[in-house]
Amino acid sequence: MLSMQNISKVYRAGMVETHALREFSLEVEEGEFISVTGPSGSGKTTFLNIAGLLESFTSGTYMLDGRDVSALSDAESSKVRNEKIGFVFQSFNLIPDLNLFDNVDVPLRYRGFNSADRKRRIEKVLETVGLASRMKHLPSQLSGGQQQRVAIARALAGEPRFLLADEPTGNLDSHMALSVMELISEINRSGTTIIMVTHDPALAEMASRNVHILDGRVSDVVEDNVVTQIATA
């Protein structure tokens, strides 16, 4: 479970302060699929980075699986992030000179898995995303949708509890985007909690709950086509 209460994030540059999040509160239950929408600059990516322990926050409380992450050292945050959280970004971030197998292998080597365990995990996730037969191909030999599937496989190889996706279909055409979304939905049905930032209302509706962010706060939540307004005063 992920629980944020009154999270604020302030960026300071000299005398200038920018409030990316303002008393932001959200709870995500295990196994949920949450889409996060809002205009550019509303705080969506800042929220996702804080959720993924990539950024600190200025004030508030963030509990991840019952643990207060604000009290963690950098090394402890890195350990929790590597063990519990997978990331998928708009840009695929694949290493062009490595084949698919080796691209998925890189974070597993970093975590210290032995070769037999790494091989099992890599083959399993490439099969899951439908690319087992292409594991020796280079990224340049794949379509954009296939490259994003590799990025998803890489995120899943560590068997994370949470999958955080920042505009995962942003660089794809509509057909490829739908294919990737179907895969993400399937991963969610297998038990992985997913939080996805998107600008596309149609894709947001594929989640079980849509959280709309405006000016660094949750402005409303849509669940089962019912809109709940959140007071921001």
More confident site: 105 or 175: 105
Alpha-carbon gap, residue 95 to 101, rounded angstroms? 11
Alpha-carbon gap, residue 195 to 184, rounded angstroms? 10
Supply the pLDDT for residue 71: 85
Query: Is residue 6 domain-resident?
Result: no
Tens-digit pLDDT profile for residues 17-70: 999 999 999 999 999 999 999 999 999 999 999 999 999 999 999 999 999 998
Q: How many domains does the chain have?
A: 1
Burial class (CB in 10 A: 0-12, 13-18, 19+), 119: middle
Tens-digit pLDDT profile for residues 69-86: 988 999 999 999 989 999
Query: Is residue 21 domain-resident?
Result: no
Tens-digit pLDDT profile for residues 190-207: 999 999 999 999 999 999
**Tokens 């000299």 correspond to what residue?**
14
Query: Is residue 171 domain-resident?
Result: yes
Q: Tell me if the pTM is above 0.75.
A: yes
Query: Is residue 2 domain-resident?
Result: no
Domain that holds residue 131: 30-53+72-229
Quick check: 233 pLDDT over 50?
A: no
Count CB neighbours of 143 within 10 A. 12
Tens-digit pLDDT profile for residues 86-127: 999 888 899 999 999 999 999 999 888 999 999 999 999 999
Query: Is residue 144 domain-resident?
Result: yes
Query: Is residue 199 domain-resident?
Result: yes
186: confidence class by pLDDT, cuts 50, 70, 90: very high
14: confidence class by pLDDT, cuts 50, 70, 90: confident
The CATH number of the domain holding residue 121 is 3.40.50.300
Supply the pLDDT for residue 15: 86
| No. of helices (H) and no. of strands (E), the chain | 7, 11
Count CB neighbours of 211 within 10 A. 24
Query: Is residue 66 domain-resident?
Result: no
